[in-house]
Amino acid sequence: MISIRAPRLVLATALIAGIVLAVPCAASPGWPGQSARPVLSVQDAAAYEREGRLSFPITLDRPAPMALRVIAVPLRGTARPLKDYRPGVVSTTIPAGATEGSLTVPIRDNKVVGPDVTLTLRIAAAPGATIAKGTAIGTIRDDEPLTINLLHINDHHSNLQPISTTLDLGTTGGPFTASIGGFPRVTSKIKALESQLDHVVKIHAGDAITGTLFYTLFQGAADADLMNTACFDVFALGNHEFDDGDANLARFLDFLGSDPACNTSTVAANVVPQIGTPLAPVTANDYIQPYVIKEFQGQKVAFIGIDIAQKTRFSSQPLPTTQFLDEVETAQAYVDELSAMGIDNIVLVTHYGYENDLALARAVTGVDVIVGGDSHTLLGNLGEYGLPAAGDYPTLTLNADGDPVCVVQAWQYSQVVGELAVTFREGQVETCGGTPHLLVGDNFQRNRLLIPEPERSEILALIEMDPSLGVVIPDPTAEAILAEYAAQVDELSQEVIGVAAEVICERRVPTLPRGSAPCDDNAVSFSGAELNVNGGFSQQVVTDAFLARAFRADLALQNGGGVRITIPEGDITIGTAYTLLPFTNTLVELELSGQEVLDSIEDGLDFYASNPGGNTGAFPYGSHIRWDLDMTQAKGARISAVEVKDRATGMWAPLDPSQTYLVVTNSFLANGGDGYATFKAAVESGRATDTFINYAQGFVDYLVQDLGGGNLFVPPRLDFSTQSFVPLHSP
C-alpha cells in the first residue's frame, strides 16, 4: 500500500441551525435609531472533527456604531451532545467600527467512523442591530478515513472465452502457454474478491462490445448476459459502444438492464444525446448519466464517466446529433458541481487511454482516482513474465491542485481483473494500492503438449507466490451461459477456410508493439518483412485480400485498427476471419486522383499523429501502393517515393498525382472514419460505389476462392506499403 496523503483543510456545507434572542451589550443614550442599525447575518459553518471547533462567520452591512455582544446557544440537531460537541452558551463581541466577527462552537473528535452530523445554533445580538438571517447551520464532518475497493476491467471487446498466452516464469523448461481469461473467470475472481472485501465498487471502463463472433451474431446480448453474472455497479461508455450507432447501443444497454438482480449505472458525462433520439427518447439521462454517487459509512464517493471524444466521433458511427464534449473541460465541470454538493471523493471512470488519463489527472483539480480503458494498457509487475506491462499499478501522479491521483487500467479481453484499495481522508487520497490479477487456468502446454509433473507443480507453486497470478476456476453460472452462446458460434466458426503457413502478426504502427514473442520487435516473416519496419503482417494480408476481391480496383487502403488479431499458425476458420475483422463494414470503391490518394494517406497519418496514444487505429496500410514514411515531418510531407503496382504487369511506377485511380477501402473509412476526410469528400461528390460485400466475407472469399483454401503467407517485403519508417519521436 502506498502512503501518499497530503492533509489540507476542506470545509463543506450542509447544516441546520436557528437563531432568535437579542441581548444588548449595554443600554446607552448614544445608541443609534432604528434606521441607522446595522443588519447582522450569521453564516453557515462546517469543519472536520479534528479541527476542534466550528467557526460561524458574522457579517454586518455597515460598521458597528458601538460594541455588539452576540450570544449563542448550540442545540442538538443530528449531533450528539458530549460526543460530537460541547453544549453550552458561546459568545463574542464585535468591536465598534467592525463589520465582521465569528462565533466559535467547540466540537469533539469522537474517533468513530460515521456520517456527518449537524447542530442548531440560536443566536442573540445587541438591540442596536437588525437580524437579517436568524439561522445558522453547522456541519461536523467525520474525518475518520474511508477505504473503498474498486474491482475493474476494461476493453473485453466481446472476448468471452479464454485465449492462449505465452508466459515465462523462469521454470526449468522455459516459456509455456497457458489458458488466460474468459468472462467466467472474470466473474469468478470478482465474486471471490467481493466476498473478502468491504465497500466494493465493480467497474467496467468501456469497449465491452465488438471484436468477436459473439458480437457479430448476438449484437451484445451475449456480452450483457455475461456482464450481469458479475453485476457491475458502473459501466463507462467506450468508443466501440457506438460502432453500430446509437440505436444499437441503446439495445445493448437494454440487454444490460434486463436482469433485475443487477443495477448497473452507465456513465459518460461528455456524451450528450439529443432528446428524441434512441439514447434519449424522453430525457437526456434515459440511458446515460454523467455520474453516479455511492455512499459508505456516511461518506459519499462520486464516479464520473468520460469517453474519448474525437475518436468516438470519427472512428465509430454515433448519430450526428450526439455530442462528444471536451474531456478535460467536462471532467472539471462535474468535479466542481460535485464539490459544491459537498462531495470531494472523486473517481473518474474513463475510456480515454493511459497516457491521456495521466494528462487528464494533471489538468483537473479535485480528482482523486482514475479507472481507465481504451489503450489496452497492462500495469504492474506482469512484465516480469513476458507480458507487455507499461507502468506501475497504480500509477501515481498529481492533479492540478498538487494532490495525489491514483491511475489504473486492467489490460484487455477479459484477461485481468484489477483490484485497487483507496483510502480517502478529508477529500483526498491518503493511500492507494492493489493488484492486477491475471486470470490463469491450471493446464500448461509447450509445443502443444501438456506439461507433465514435476514441472507442472513447479509452475503452480510459482503462480501461488505472486498475488498478480492466480489459478481461477470459472464461475459455473457464467460458464453455463457462455456454453449456450458458444454452441451456436461453433456451428459457424469451426469451418476451415485456409491455413496460415506462419504466424501472421498484428501491429498497427511499426514501432509500437502490442504483444510478445513471436510478435515482438524481432519478428521477421518467411518473406523477409520486418514487423518493426514494415508494420503489421495481418494488416498487410487483409489489405491485399480486399484488393483481390475488388476486381476493378487499382489499389487498396485500410486502417491498421480495423484488423484486430494476430493470425496463429495453422488452420484458419470462419471464426478466425470474423474475429480478425469483426465490424459491420462493406468494401467500397472510390474514384480518386493520385493527389487525393496522397491526401488520404496523409489524412490517416495526421489523425494518428494528433493523438499517438489514442489514434493508432488510423495508421494506413495499402495494397499495390508503397511509400517511405517519416512521421517527424509535417502533414503533406510525411510520405515520399510513392509508387503503385500495375495489376496487369506487376511493375512498380511512381504515382501520378493527375491520374485517376480506383481505390477500394472499407465503408467506415469511406465515410470519413479515423479522420479520412478526403475519402468522405469523394463519397459526397458521388465518386463512390458500395460493393455491399461484407469485408470479413471478402477475406473469407479470398482464402477460399483466390487461395483455394491453401496456405496463406506474409507478402514479400517489397509489397508492403511502408518500406521505411521514421517514428513520430525519432531519436
More confident residue, 321 or 33: 321
With cut-offs at 50, 70 and 90, classify the pLDDT of residue 1: low
Closest CA to 161 of 570, 439, 547: 439
Q: Percent of the chain, pLDDT > 90?
A: 72
Q: What is d(CA 211, CA 196) in angstroms, rounded to the nearest whole number? A: 33
CA–CA separation, 209 vs 249, rounded Å? Answer: 9
Average pLDDT of the segment spanning 143-168: 94
Task: Answer whether residue 31 shows pLDDT above 90.
Answer: no
The number of beta carbons lying within 10 Å of the beta carbon of residue 402 is 10
Res 20: pLDDT = 33
Residue 728 has pLDDT above 90, yes or no: no
205 has pLDDT over 60 = yes
Q: Going by DSSP bridges, is the β-strand pair 291-296/299-307 parallel, antiparallel, or unpaired? A: antiparallel
Q: How confident is the model at residue 513 (pLDDT cuts 50, 70, 90)?
A: low
* pLDDT score, position 142: 75
In this structure, is the dihedral angle defined by the CA atoms of residues 519, 521, 522 and 526, taken in order, positive or negative?
Answer: positive
Task: Report pLDDT digits (tens) over 393-423.
Answer: 999 999 999 999 999 999 999 999 999 999 9
Residue type, position 404, single letter: P
Q: Is the pLDDT of residue 87 over 90?
A: no
pLDDT in tens, 101-125: 999 999 887 766 667 788 888 876 5
Which run of H or of E encompasses 641?
strand 639-645
Give dist(CA 205, CA 184) in Å, integer.
18
Residue 83: its pLDDT value, please? 73
pLDDT of residue 420: 99
Mean pLDDT rounded to a whole number for the chain: 90
Q: Is the overall model pTM greater than 0.75, yes or no?
A: no
Provide the 3-class DSSP secondary structure of residue 213.
Answer: helix
Per-residue pLDDT, averaged over 77-88, amounts to: 74
Is 337 exposed, middle or buried (CB count within 10 Å of its CB: 0-12, 13-18, 19+)? middle
Asked whether residue 48 carries a pLDDT value surpassing 50, the answer given is: yes
Interstrand relation of 469-471 and 176-180 (parallel, antiparallel or unpaired): unpaired
- Mark 26-63 as b/e (b = at least 16 C-beta within 10 Å): eeeeebeeeeebbebbbebbbbbbebeebbbebbbeee
**pLDDT category of residue 515 using cuts at 50, 70 and 90:** low
Per-residue pLDDT, averaged over 72-85, amounts to: 76
Average pLDDT over residues 123-143: 77
Residue 27 scores a pLDDT above 60: no
- pLDDT one-digit tens code per residue, 560-609: 999 999 999 999 999 999 999 988 788 999 999 999 999 999 999 999 99
Termini Cα distance of the chain: 37
For residue 421, count other CB atoms closer than 10 A to its CB.
18
Confidence band (pLDDT; 50, 70, 90) for 379? very high
182 Cα distance to chain centroid:
20
Provide the pLDDT for residue 14.
32
Rounded alpha-carbon distances, angstroms, from residue 372 to 254, 318, 409: 24, 21, 5
Question: Which pLDDT value is given to residue 545?
Answer: 97
DSSP letter for each residue of 421-464: EEEEETTEEEEEEEEEEEEEEEEEEETTEE--TTHHHHHHHHHH
Average pLDDT of span 365-388: 95
Position 576 scores a pLDDT of 93
Residue 727, pLDDT score: 92
**What's residue 123's pLDDT?**
74
Average pLDDT for 597-622: 93
Alpha helices (H) along 507-590 = 531-534, 537-549, 574-580
